[in-house]
Structure 1
Amino acid sequence: MLKRLLRRRMVNTCVVGNWQRSNMTSADPTDANIARSFQDIPGPSGIYQWPFIGLRLQLKPFTEFKITRLDQLMMDYKRRYGPICKARMGKRWMVFLFEPSVIEKAFRTEGRYPQRPSIMILEHFYKGQACPSISILQGKEWFEMRRPPQMTLKKPKNLSKFIPQLSEVADDFVEKFRNNHIMEDLPLPCLDFTTEGAGTLCFGLRLGCLNKTSGNDATTILKHVRGVFGAIGESMYSLPWFLLYETSSYRQFVEHIAFLRRMADGHLQRAKHELNNRTTGDEKANLMLDMINTPGMTSEMISNNLVDLFIAGLDSTAMAITFLFYQLARNPDKQEKLFEEIRDHIPPSGPISEDALLHLPYLKACLKESFRLVFPVSIGSSRVLQKDIQLLGYHIPKGCVIAGGNSVIGRDKEYFNDPEMFLPERWLRSGPTHIHAFAQLPFGFGPRDCIGKRFAEIEVYICVSKIVRNYKIILPKDVTEVPYIYQMFAIPEKPFSLHLLPRSTG
């Protein structure tokens, strides 16, 4: 009975939303002189506006939408309400934008210190600490904490020094499959690769993730890294009981973070000792050394930054590689076109030159297309407005959260022809149509974009190019689709495998 009542209310809400859109045509909604109020923005109404509970009533078992696929609920919002709608997400109001030009207008007004909604479990953990995580900081404090690692991670010349190390990691990744020719339990092998890559970036060390044995340090590191992601993902899609009492999952989260902090502290002390006693200057490039040499960076600041950066890029980059492998296996003609491109620039083994990565437009297009089909996060880039703004003729007040609905736009026929097909050619300069720059923002935008964007892209390019140069990736006969869900990032709903057919390396 309750389910039928709720569905009836959803239908009524849909009618109201359509009524609002039809009435918007009576006047130009972009006319600043007749701006509508925030309350006029279409969206779920009535009980669906209640904090926390309102969202839950729009999900299973009351509707067909799953909490792990909020992108599908957002697609329904776009269908029912048009290019803009508002909804309660947790305790905050969120305004969803489903038109690239509107997203651009909103994000270009964000100012020098953009404010992003923090993850509640991280905010709770770091509350009251003298040196909190950059992920929960705002304003000038955030800017000052981000600046030191940004000096390394945002400049191509600084990042180029990591290419030889990542090439070595990728060669080991290729060799990992020489005997059995199968990638099993994806995305775990890709997480091994990105964890090893993050070790070279943050600490200048090989952690041993690609040749780990039971009980070694790499196994322990991966256990705690996956534990962090699991706890954060669970917290994002459940009621925040940890705010009231220390739940079991929160205790485990604290344990995982504490281990990674001890690891970072240990590497930091080792590096400082080596710097004090070094006789040569031939140490490998890494982010930790850059921050040690940055005036004003305390040991606690460096350690917290290293933990944040070490964790942040592992899962998202591993999933990007996993889904791109899947798309290439599913579309063998595109994979062969990619192989033809990389064959002339990427060696089967050994270092990849910086110049080679500049000549791989089809590989870059393949990554963009994979991101379009499986957008990394369900809601998209979001910002907390620091001043009132007007979008599509509606007044949106300071403190409201706006979200660019790129997961919806990427599969919208209005912006992409044949949206269900893997067509990397659409991203090439010679492509058939122009794609708005804000139609896809997998790494965010502006001063508060993903700080590790360039390093993550290099990791993906090197890993995928080395694998495709050495193997033909084949989809097993029993695998036709790889459904995905969202935790912190998009992940395969179930582990899957890919076969690898060795290529001639001549």
Structure 2
Amino acid sequence: MTVLYGCVSTHAHHYCTLISKQAYGPLWKSSLGPYTNINVACPELLEQVLRQEGKYPVRSDMALWKEHRDARGLPYGPFTEDGERWHRLRPGPREAVLYTGTINAVTSDLLGRLEAERRGSPSGRGVGDVASLLYRFALEGIASILFETRIGCLEPQVPPETQRFIAAIGCMFRDSVFVTALPAWTRALLPFWDRYLRSWDTIFAFGPCQRGGGWAVGPEAKGAARAALPREVTGVGGGQVPDAPHLAQMPLLKAIVKETLRLYPVVPTNARIIVEKDVVVGDYLFPKDTLFVLAHYAMAHDEHSFPEPERFLPQRWLRAGATPHHPFSSIPFGYGVRACVGRRIAELEMYLALTRIIQNYELHPDPRGREVHPLSRIVLVPDKPINLELVARAPVP
């Protein structure tokens, strides 16, 4: 059966995949805009797809990025190129621990920004829109590594060119939803396509980006984990600035990040086109060039893999309380040669930032806050600001 995903549901596309899986099973056909998709929503079938992707798998979710490059006469890069040329361009693995000092310096600026926001609030403890601030932290961190310079994301007054860059990234992701779903003939009538191209022009004039996750310090980081994490963080290294050996002794911290990315995968769906051969998935033979949509959100919220899937339970990832699940049931950074090239840097940013925030503050939800839900804009984002109260901890003796 073919499922039609209309434009009205694009912001809840992650929920649509979950509902479709419940209605049609782990493998179904759908249409979105000009695309006909084979959706894969169980880890066993996902593993079959990814283990057959060959040497030169294609990410169809980069098609819109290519259209911008084509429209502007720009060359492709490692994210947009395919085939043998992509294989030559793709970056090799990075030793993320080499950048611990760089990321710690950026984290110090983040703590300064949090403290300034906290002191400037009416209550003396409130920090608004924490996810946005953490996004700017992640952007500053990756810029420090790639450009070997700072771009001012955490300054009290963000430089105008950096602010335009940040705004362009957000606009590009928002309009991507519409230009994907709407037919090409609407581009001359509606504003989304021109805005999308202009956003990319601004991004290209500045540089690359990386999106971090604000959910790990939001309302989900609660319960027993909220009490146990400070003990772990302060118990390792005595409250000093952490480095790689310290992080290796923080299993709960890593479990919290894994559980957060299970509940809120940054990319709720992505895609593969296997161009080299026909493939068998389940009981079906698919011709080469079939577009497979990998429904990560639906798999990570499946009760067969994760009992009580809507609950935040970091112990799922700890040896003492781990529940068995298929290794492909939650792969927020992807798998194989087309996996996220910045995974280790992103993890390092999350670990260092969370460790030092927890060392310095108790985190409490804003008592006036409302429940926050995920929103699909190609990546998953909060549908409203995540506001917190930060209470200073007593120094470790």
Alignment TM-score, normalising by the size of structure 1: 0.71
Letter in 2 for 1:127: D
212, 215, 221: which one aligns with 1:323: 215
127, 132, 135: which one aligns with 2:76: 132
Distance 1:87 1:424, change over 3 A: same
34, 37, 44: which one aligns with 1:94: 37
Distance 1:490 1:130, change over 3 A: closer
Alignment of 1:85-484 (within 5 A): 85-127=28-70, 129=73, 131-146=75-90, 150-151=91-92, 154-156=93-95, 159-178=96-115, 179-180=119-120, 181-213=125-157, 216-241=160-185, 245=188, 248-263=191-206, 307=207, 310-311=208-209, 313=210, 315=211, 317=212, 320=213, 322-329=214-221, 331-345=222-236, 350=241, 352-379=242-269, 381-386=270-275, 387-479=277-369, 481-484=371-374
Distance 1:73 1:342, change over 3 A: same
Contact 1:126/1:133 (<8 A) preserved = no
Cα deviation for residue 347 of structure 1 reads 6.4
> Could you tell me which residue of structure 2 aligns to residue 15 of structure 1?
none
Using the TM superposition, name which of 189-198 and 223-232 deviates more. 223-232
Cα deviation for residue 213 of structure 1 reads 1.4
CA–CA separation in structure 2 for the residues paired with 1:257 and 1:75: 31
- Secondary structure in 1 aligned to 2:37? strand
Contact 1:101/1:438 (<8 A) preserved = yes
Letter in 2 for 1:423: L
Using the TM superposition, name which of 170-179 and 467-476 deviates more. 170-179
Contact 1:328/1:335 (<8 A) preserved = no
Cα deviation for residue 130 of structure 1 reads 5.6
Letter in 2 for 1:324: A
Cα deviation for residue 344 of structure 1 reads 2.5
Cα deviation for residue 125 of structure 1 reads 1.3
Letter in 2 for 1:168: A
Letter in 2 for 1:497: N
> Is 1:83 aligned with 2:33?
no
Contact 2:140/2:150 (<8 A) preserved = yes
- Secondary structure in 1 aligned to 2:129? strand
CA–CA separation in structure 1 for the residues paired with 2:158 and 2:79: 33
> Could you tell me which residue of structure 2 aligns to residue 21 of structure 1?
none
- Secondary structure in 2 aligned to 1:376? coil
Alignment TM-score, normalising by the size of structure 2: 0.89
CA–CA separation in structure 1 for the residues paired with 2:184 and 2:346: 31
> Could you tell me which residue of structure 1 aligns to residue 381 of structure 2?
491
Cα deviation for residue 470 of structure 1 reads 0.8
Distance 1:248 1:417, change over 3 A: closer
Q: Which has the higher helix share?
A: 1
Cα deviation for residue 355 of structure 1 reads 1.1
Contact 2:255/2:314 (<8 A) preserved = yes
Instruction: Please list the CA deviations of residues 459-483 of structure 1 after superposition, one character each: whole Å capped at 9, or x if unmatched.
Output: 1111111111111110122335211
Cα deviation for residue 217 of structure 1 reads 4.2
Contact 2:305/2:324 (<8 A) preserved = no
CA–CA separation in structure 1 for the residues paired with 2:255 and 2:229: 10
Letter in 1 for 2:82: Q
- Secondary structure in 2 aligned to 1:80? helix
- Secondary structure in 1 aligned to 2:114? coil
Distance 1:392 1:338, change over 3 A: same
Q: Which has the greater radius of gyration?
A: 1
Instruction: Please list the CA deviations of residues 63-119 of structure 1 after superposition, one character each: whole Å capped at 9, or x if unmatched.
Output: xxx221122222222122222212223323211222211211111111111111043
- Secondary structure in 2 aligned to 1:402? strand
CA–CA separation in structure 2 for the residues paired with 1:441 and 1:126: 29
Contact 1:346/1:466 (<8 A) preserved = no
Cα deviation for residue 354 of structure 1 reads 1.8
Contact 2:233/2:239 (<8 A) preserved = no
Cα RMSD of the aligned pairs, angstroms, is: 2.3
Cα deviation for residue 435 of structure 1 reads 1.8
Count how many residue pairs are aligned between Structure 1 and Structure 2: 387
- Secondary structure in 2 aligned to 1:366? helix
Distance 1:190 1:80, change over 3 A: same
* Unaligned ranges ≥5, structure 1: 1-42, 49-53, 61-65, 264-306
**Could you tell me the percent identity over the aligned residues?**
22
Distance 1:237 1:68, change over 3 A: farther
Letter in 2 for 1:170: T
* Unaligned ranges ≥5, structure 2: none
CA–CA separation in structure 2 for the residues paired with 1:216 and 1:373: 35
Cα deviation for residue 382 of structure 1 reads 1.9
Contact 1:378/1:407 (<8 A) preserved = yes
> Could you tell me which residue of structure 2 aligns to residue 295 of structure 1?
none
- Secondary structure in 2 aligned to 1:187? helix
CA–CA separation in structure 2 for the residues paired with 1:430 and 1:333: 15
Distance 1:464 1:346, change over 3 A: farther
Instruction: Please list the CA deviations of residues 360-392 of structure 1 after superposition, one character each: whole Å capped at 9, or x if unmatched.
Output: 21111111111111222232x321122211222
CA–CA separation in structure 2 for the residues paired with 1:459 and 1:211: 18
